[in-house]
Chain A
Amino acid sequence: MSDLGAHASAELTADSTAELRQETMVINMGPQHPSTHGVLRLLLELDGETVVSCEPIVGYLHTGIEKNVEYRTWQQGVAFVTRADYLSPFFNELAYCLAAEKLLGIEAPPRAQLLRVLFCEMNRIASHLVWLATSGMELGAISMMLYGFREREQILDIFEAATGLRMNHAYVRIGGVVMDLPEGSTGRVGDFLETMTGRIDEYERLLTKNPIWIQRNAGIGVLPAGDALAFGVTGPTLRASGVARDVRRDEPYAGYETFEFDVVTREGADCYARYAVRIEEMRQSLRIVEQCLERLREPGPVMVEDPKVRWPAVLEVGPDGIGNAPSYITHIMEESMEALIHHFKMVTEGISVPAGEVYVPVESPRGELGFYVVADGSNRPSKIKIRDPSFANLQAVPEMVRGGLVADTIAVIASVDPVMGGVDR
């Protein structure tokens, strides 16, 4: 009897587990999930805790930026594209303006290029800080979130002082930048440099050798270099797979060839390697910022002189914020009819850009951000296409999470650092 009973129960167990194995569960992660970094939705097929397949579903943040820009003047385009990848506004602006400048056949003056580099690198640090803060939070290192956002706030304060806004600055303009640094900015950047170096060391003391951090990241979400390239992955995610590719070094723009910095790579190809790459990239950005400060001692124009290109404005910070200087208002309103006509034409009609097409890539915090811009000779772009790095990088996520645990999916998404504003545009 007992023999028979044991046999029967063994059979039952084998049968039922076989049946259970066949059944996988499909669940939605997102779009309203705090750790999917915005409105990313993942359709996960699970076998117990193991991910069998994963399909990222995007588009929840589509705002039609590319279509909208076709209906705006060339200068207005800046204010639209800056809103695409909202964590790297300066990069969107820069790539768009470089494309327009290439079509126009002009180059921004050296000081403008310096300011562009300065703000881009500060922006890279701010963006990496958001990534570090949110990744830390998602994996249980809550203190990292507090520290990360604390330092980012310092950077945003500097941005606000110089551009009037914490995000979506529209600071980089066709032909240069909108205005020079306000009084005392370089000092503030210098102070930030001084504290930040030590702060990065503190983050590392908190995480780099932390056993839980290592357990959650090392060996997780492995993406070999070959796969990464096939999926179109760029930026820190690619460099963490051992491929030393960086647009700043490979196809320099805005004078990057004159700066000293290292292209950071790691061989791990996992979440931990991506962490290590971004931490070191922040240090490299600080190096570049330091070189910028040194060179910014030289004064100079921050916008091309050509009145047919430059934005007709002399901006100043007044008691009520940034606006046209009273002297400029007096000039166009009371002194010169020609200046008023010119101002009116430039603001309403804008500039006309010769027909042609260009593709301009820059190295954003997430990888190759490319702008394909087509001009038809009119005062509006005929077409712009934003090649956003997050869009391509997300395609590799299914490959990275397959066979892993659900909990690791969180670590993988965090390590890719997608920004849905850029993905969906």
Chain B
Amino acid sequence: MTAAQLAERVRARSSDVVVQRGEAMLVVERDELLEVLAWLRDDPELRLDFLSSVTATDRPGHEPRFWVVYELYSGEHRHRLRVKVGATEEAPRVPTVTGLFPTADWHERETYDFYGIVFDGHPNLRRILLPDDWEGFPLRKTEELGGVNTRYHGAFIPPVDRRTS
């Protein structure tokens, strides 16, 4: 199915779907996330039963601040769909999809690790790549890049993000 046909098919159920640069993207409400993903997975014409990736984006000052992004693929029909669900700054929570896609386990842990998104119902929501006692969520835009302040022969070389504009 082409992205346009896919979007047409999805629109029958969920209206907020667009096609950009040949990729179909669907925005869903948090309450309906699990229901929609289950439908996308099981619908014989869509069969989006392979979850490639889960991540999030962060735009401070926007509402919602975070978007959690799911990349779905259908091996049978060879088409892809991106599903996005918003999460607010005050309550960055979305339900876990590990019940539908076991592979989401580590992907959601990574998203929690990097962005502090809490996946309600996740069986083991701990940090995965950063140390357990790390403070903060480093891929949030409000976090600095960090780095090592370097002093050499009296010169001070600041972390890289403070060297450029």
Chain A residues near B (Cβ < 8 Å):
58-59, 62, 64, 66-68, 70-71, 102-103, 105, 229-232, 243, 245, 250-251, 356-359, 361, 368, 370, 372, 374, 382-383, 385, 387, 391-392, 394-395, 424-425
Contact B49 A229 (CB under 8 A): yes
Q: Which residues of A contact B20 (CB under 8 A)?
A: 356-357
Contact A387 B52 (CB under 8 A): yes
Near A by CB (< 8 A), chain B positions 117-165 give 127-131, 138-139, 145, 160-161, 164
Q: Which residues of A contact B78 (CB under 8 A)?
A: 250-251
Q: Which residues of B contact A385 (CB under 8 A)?
A: 53, 55, 69
Given A103-B21, A395-B106, A230 and B129 contact (CB-CB distance below 8 Å) = no
Q: Given the complex of chains A and B, what is the CA–CA distance between A392 and B107 in angstroms?
A: 8
Binding site secondary structure of chain B = mixed
Q: Is B89 an interface residue (CB 8 A)?
A: no
Contact A67 B145 (CB under 8 A): yes
**Chain B residue total in the interface (Cβ 8 A):** 37
Contact B130 A67 (CB under 8 A): no
Q: Which residues of A contact B39 (CB under 8 A)?
A: none
Contact A71 B145 (CB under 8 A): yes
A35 to chain B, nearest CB (A): 22
Q: Given the complex of chains A and B, what is the CA–CA distance between A343 and B25 in angstroms?
A: 38
Q: Given the complex of chains A and B, what is the CA–CA distance between A250 and B77 in angstroms?
A: 10
State the 6 A-B residue pairs at the shortest beta-carbon distance, nearest first: A232-B103, A387-B53, A59-B129, A385-B55, A62-B129, A230-B102
Contact A243 B75 (CB under 8 A): yes
Q: Which residues of B contact A67 (CB under 8 A)?
A: 138-139, 145
Total CB contacts across the A-B interface at under 8 A: 92
Given A58-B129, A358-B23, A385-B55, A391 and B82 contact (CB-CB distance below 8 Å) = no
Q: Which residues of A contact B105 (CB under 8 A)?
A: 395
Determine which of B103, B139, B161 lies in contact with A66 in the assembled complex, contact meaning CB atoms within 8 Å. Answer: B139
Contact B52 A361 (CB under 8 A): yes
Contact B71 A372 (CB under 8 A): yes
Q: Which residues of A contact B69 (CB under 8 A)?
A: 372, 385
Given A103-B21, A245-B75, A385-B53, A62 and B130 contact (CB-CB distance below 8 Å) = yes
Q: Which residues of A contact B139 (CB under 8 A)?
A: 66-67, 383
Given A64-B138, A102-B21, A372 and B129 contact (CB-CB distance below 8 Å) = no
Determine which of B51, B55, B114, B129 lies in contact with A232 in the assembled complex, contact meaning CB atoms within 8 Å. Answer: B51
Q: Given the complex of chains A and B, what is the CA–CA distance between A391 and B128 in angstroms?
A: 11
Nearest B residue to A389 by beta-carbon distance?
A: B52
Q: Which residues of B contact A102 (CB under 8 A)?
A: 21
Contact A230 B21 (CB under 8 A): no
B53 to chain A, nearest CB (A): 4
Given A387-B53, A424-B129, A230 and B106 contact (CB-CB distance below 8 Å) = no
Contact B101 A230 (CB under 8 A): yes
A373 to chain B, nearest CB (A): 11
Q: Is B14 an interface residue (CB 8 A)?
A: no
Q: Which of A59, A232, A359, A382 has the most CB of B within 10 A?
A: A232
B43 to chain A, nearest CB (A): 17
A interface footprint on B65-107 (CB within 8 Å = 1, 0 otherwise): 0000101000100101010000000000000000001110111
Nearest A residue to B140 by beta-carbon distance?
A: A67
Contact B102 A231 (CB under 8 A): yes
Q: Which residues of B contact A382 (CB under 8 A)?
A: 57
Contact B106 A391 (CB under 8 A): yes
Q: Which residues of A contact B138 (CB under 8 A)?
A: 64, 67
Given A59-B130, A64-B138, A71-B161, A229 and B75 contact (CB-CB distance below 8 Å) = yes
A-B contact pairs, 11 of them (CB 8 A): A59-B128, A62-B129, A71-B161, A102-B21, A232-B50, A232-B102, A251-B80, A357-B82, A372-B69, A383-B139, A385-B53
A interface footprint on B9-28 (CB within 8 Å = 1, 0 otherwise): 00000000000110101000
Q: Which of A58, A64, A358 has the most CB of B within 10 A?
A: A64
Q: Which residues of A contact B103 (CB under 8 A)?
A: 230-232, 392, 395
Q: Which residues of A contact B55 (CB under 8 A)?
A: 372, 383, 385
B137 to chain A, nearest CB (A): 11
Q: Which residues of A contact B58 (CB under 8 A)?
A: 383
Given A62-B130, A370-B71, A392 and B49 contact (CB-CB distance below 8 Å) = no
Q: Which residues of A contact B50 (CB under 8 A)?
A: 229, 232
Q: Given the complex of chains A and B, what is the CA–CA distance between A119 and B44 in angstroms?
A: 39
Q: Given the complex of chains A and B, what is the CA–CA distance between A59 and B128 in angstroms?
A: 6
Known: A58-B128, A67-B139. 16 other contacts (CB 8 A): A59-B128, A71-B145, A71-B164, A229-B75, A230-B102, A232-B51, A232-B103, A250-B78, A357-B20, A372-B53, A372-B71, A383-B55, A385-B53, A392-B103, A395-B102, A425-B129
